[in-house]
Structure 1
Amino acid sequence: MSIVDTIRRSTGKLLPTKYKMPIRGHRVLVTGAGSGIGRLMAIECADRGAAKVIIWDLSEERAAETAATINAAGGAAEYQVVDVTDQEAVEAAAEIAGDVDILFNNAGVVSGRDFLDNTQESVDRTLDVNVRSLYIVTRPFLKGMVERDRGTVVVTASAAGVVGVAKQTDYSASKWAAIGFTESLRVEMKRRKHRVNTLSLCPFYVDTGMFDGVKTKVPWIFPILRQEDVARTFVDAVEAGRHQVLLPWTVRLVYIGRLLPLPLFDAFCGLLGVNATMEEFRGRPGDRV
């Protein structure tokens, strides 16, 4: 018996429990799967033998394209056009979709505006899509997971929920909330002895089109990540039963640095190139968030 197993037994299993969930043979639903990381995660799940991959997106054209790509490769996929902020629409779509074993809450938006330049309408939209939808989408599928005592709820958060980023106060706040949602739900499932895992995905600079127009100087410790690598790592994390993924690993430096007194933490972030000034956030050719 390993030391970890011994400690887990002696502490009444207080340590985090890994509920490994193989993709093969299970039903998967991915929101925002018409493009970006969501599309790649859906395709990756199909390649690993998912029983069915259900695609949700606001764009019928993009959703249909993702489903067609999966089906053409021999997988099983279907799509639905769903606004994840519309509770009635989500509940109706969930009824049609049926039971889901692995739910990827991936849909998200970003405004990328200075705090004083942002509009309340834009802020509300960010919070609706990035936070409120987590409750709306998860609830109808979580019931079935609890009844079957098996499932995984995944939330695509962001390292912006760990590291403060200028010009993204609403986005960062929404991703802090997304991480809190995931962690609190995990604790609730554990306390109620339900074998339902939760996983928060926290990448930083990923080479997608989501942040086009939000030009910024990329901190030297945060390399721009390839979408394919991120999607593969995230699906690996589901199968391994992990609870959180921070990408790249250097984000952990800032995560741990929060234990420092605030002046030292700010100096530490400045040294790493994280706390850029607003002038530096004008970027260089090719820079992307």
Structure 2
Amino acid sequence: MKFFLDCLLLLPLLLIFTLESLLKLFIPKKRKSVTGEIVLITGAGHGIGRLTAYEFAKLKCKLVLWDINKHGLEETAAECKRLGAKVHSSAVDCSNREEIYSSAKKVKAEIGDVSILVNNAGVVYTSDLFATQDPQIEKTFEVNVLAHFWTTKAFLPEMMKNNHGHIVTVASAAGHTGVPFLLAYCSSKFAAVGFHKALTEELAALERTGIKTTCLCPNFINTGFIKNPSTR
């Protein structure tokens, strides 16, 4: 019964999205150029972060790649260079506030002002509440949401001075709905969505219209975090 109700609720959304897609097909939005922009991507060593880096590399951006996985980071950096981008990569633990601040200071001194920040790094632990260890809960929030505060505080001031920039929050569909055995993950992604919404409103209140924000909420993707993901 619930399945049929879900389908009924989905139909009007499908109609709206189809009409929107048709409108964009005939009246496409002008794409902005990001050539030469300094783009920092956290969690660039694999998955969404790696593929995002590849796409920005094709657009001739200057890339700053962070990840705790040094080997994966080197692979991403090598492919981005092959695609023609200038790349700077550093092994950074996004659960460590001071490491984020010190790495950000180094980026600003040696590379320049980051104008596109992609907060993508994330961790997930699949277990019920009582089986999830306290340090795992803390790590989930440190990487999935608190790191967004530290990176944004590090790079937003220059964007505000120039009234130019873009902050991307990679959250999750789990930031809008609860999933069993992903209690800490869902909670952290709800927080990430809230961070994006509040930041967007704050920038508008400060009249920094040149700084854009985007929140991505993908469904399960087979990046290696969760084996054989599936959902209705």
Q: TM > 0.5 between the two?
A: yes
1:200 aligned to which of 215, 220, 226: 215
Determine if contact 1:21/1:151 at 8 Å carries over to the other structure. no
Partner of 1:161: 175
Distance 1:43 1:216 in 2: 24
Partner of 2:154: 140
- Structure 1 position 22, deviation (Å): 3.0
Q: Does 1:124 align with 2:135?
A: no
| Higher share in helix | 2
RMSD over aligned CA atoms reads: 1.6
Determine if contact 2:54/2:83 at 8 Å carries over to the other structure. no
State TM-score, norm by structure 1: 0.66
Partner of 1:59: 69
Say which SS state the counterpart of residue 53 (structure 1) adopts: strand
Q: Does 1:218 align with 2:218?
A: no
- Structure 1 position 55, deviation (Å): 0.5
- Structure 1 position 73, deviation (Å): 2.4
Unaligned runs of 5+ in 2: 1-28
Partner of 1:73: 83
Partner of 1:186: 200
Amino acid in the other structure paired with 2:159 = M
Determine if contact 2:44/2:67 at 8 Å carries over to the other structure. yes
**CA pair 123-72 structure 1, distance change in 2 beyond 3 A:** same
Amino acid in the other structure paired with 2:180 = A
* Higher RCO structure (Cα 8 Å, ≥6 apart): 1
- Structure 1 position 37, deviation (Å): 0.6
Distance 1:134 1:217 in 2: 28
Deviations, residues 4-37 of structure 1 (Å, cap 9, x unaligned): xxxxxxxxxxxxxx9x753222110000001001
- Structure 1 position 108, deviation (Å): 0.2
Partner of 2:224: 209
Map 1:235-246 → 2, pairs under 5 A:
none
Distance 2:182 2:230 in 1: 14
Say which SS state the counterpart of residue 217 (structure 2) adopts: strand
Partner of 1:227: none
Map 1:1-289 → 2, pairs under 5 A:
21-50=32-61, 52-98=62-108, 99-194=113-208, 195-212=210-227, 218-219=231-232
- Structure 1 position 139, deviation (Å): 0.7
Say which SS state the counterpart of residue 203 (structure 1) adopts: coil
Identity of matched residues, %: 36
Determine if contact 2:95/2:139 at 8 Å carries over to the other structure. no
Distance 2:107 2:33 in 1: 20
Distance 2:183 2:194 in 1: 16
Aligned residues: 198
Determine if contact 2:220/2:230 at 8 Å carries over to the other structure. no
- Structure 1 position 83, deviation (Å): 1.0
State TM-score, norm by structure 2: 0.81
Deviations, residues 77-126 of structure 1 (Å, cap 9, x unaligned): 11011111222211221122121110000000000111222111111111
Deviations, residues 183-226 of structure 1 (Å, cap 9, x unaligned): 100000011001211111000121221112xx66521xxxxxxx
Determine if contact 1:21/1:152 at 8 Å carries over to the other structure. no
Distance 1:207 1:155 in 2: 19
Unaligned runs of 5+ in 1: 1-17, 220-289
Moved more, 57-66 or 105-114: 57-66
Amino acid in the other structure paired with 2:178 = G
